[in-house]
Structure 1
């Protein structure tokens, strides 16, 4: 399974932003693209589609702030 495309598809579905592939280091929280509710949805989708566990107690926003960081964290958790 292609982790990068799966993550980008999930983010695109959640945010409606089709340009994320061009802005892989954009801070999704600072720009308001991701809020707390969308973050929870993202984590649930990642868990469902990629079969990873992301304990909320271990969620550090700065480690999940950009598409590149999200992809790196998912790869780390697999």
Structure 2
């Protein structure tokens, strides 16, 4: 007797290195997390992360409100440039 699991197989991952973008800030990945159930001592409930694809530089910023993301992105942009 064969089960469905007997007939399944795993797809292989491609070997090799992913192509990074040639210039800093060509592609930036970001994620906003929150609201957290408990505020930090500084009163923040959110945080945002930015990852530059070329340099792999990762920065995280604590936020009180989600509407601060754009201002914080401008800080990230200036710092990575």
Q: Normalising by structure 1, what TM-score?
A: 0.29
Which protein shows a greater Rg? 2
Q: Normalising by structure 2, what TM-score?
A: 0.28
